[in-house]
Amino acid sequence: MKLKSPRATIARRIIAPATAAAVVGLASLAGAGAASAHVTANAPTVTQGGYGVVTLVVPNESDAAATTALRVTLPGLTSARPEVLPGWKSVVTKKDDKVTEITWTADPGSPGVPVGQFGQFRFSGGPFPEQETVELPALQTYADGETADWNQPTPADGEEPEMPAPTLTLAPATGDGHHGGSHAASTTDSSQASDSSESSVSTASTDSAARWLGGIGLVVGTLGAVIGVAALTALRRNGRGRNGRGGGDA
């Protein structure tokens, strides 16, 4: 039967926790990457064929540059009016008397959407198509010239693509002959869109926290591994020193 030396036992006790810490750190980082945020669209009061307020939530996923422009493609709306947004100008594009695009551009000297933050862009419009889901492809532009084209449809199997297009889910029109929201209901729409924005803030905050936790986990795991290796090296050196002294005494 092979006996285990005290040094080997101590080394295992030090290295095992350090290795576990490294694994946890890497897993945390991987989880943070999976939680990567996308441009999303929310319109809780808009029904199929109706009018209402849409909020686009735009996180900045660049590590070095601010978001300075956003262009959203619309499904040919009769009316679409962007909300006043300090530090940004907006341009409404029409084709055949239908609104097809809205573009927001940061004013010169404006910070845009800084790194690690997100912005919200709202517009009121309609009538939206009489269908359950409506995609609003968006092109995000950064100060360094890089772009992120959020235009990929979600396939029938529901698996999210790499660059999903912001998508609205619209409830059926009410049975009273009106299509959900109307021009007169814009105040209510704005209020409920604000509630939706709070939910979006929570989502973006969660994503940011996940990234920070992932980074911290990686650092902790790396430190654990370094400490384990250093401890093992010290034990080996001490063992060799004792062996050398013992040989001299003999």
40-197, which class in CATH?
mainly beta
Domain boundaries along the sequence of the chain:
40-197
State the average pLDDT over residues 134-148: 97
Pairwise pLDDT comparison (159 vs 245), residue with the higher score: 159
**Nearest Cα to Cα of residue 10 among 233, 247, 245:** 233
Q: How confident is the model at residue 53 (pLDDT cuts 50, 70, 90)?
A: very high
pLDDT one-digit tens code per residue, 158-173 = 899 999 999 999 999 8
* pTM higher than the cut 0.75: no
The pair of structure tokens assigned to 5 is: 């030396």
Determine the 3-state secondary structure of 202 from DSSP: helix
Q: Phi and psi of 33, rounded to 5°?
A: -65, -35
pLDDT one-digit tens code per residue, 70-84 = 999 999 999 999 999
Q: Phi and psi of 69, rounded to 5°?
A: -155, 150
Residue recorded with tokens 């936790």: 213
The pair of structure tokens assigned to 112 is: 């845009």
Cβ atoms of 40 and 103 closer than 8 Å: no
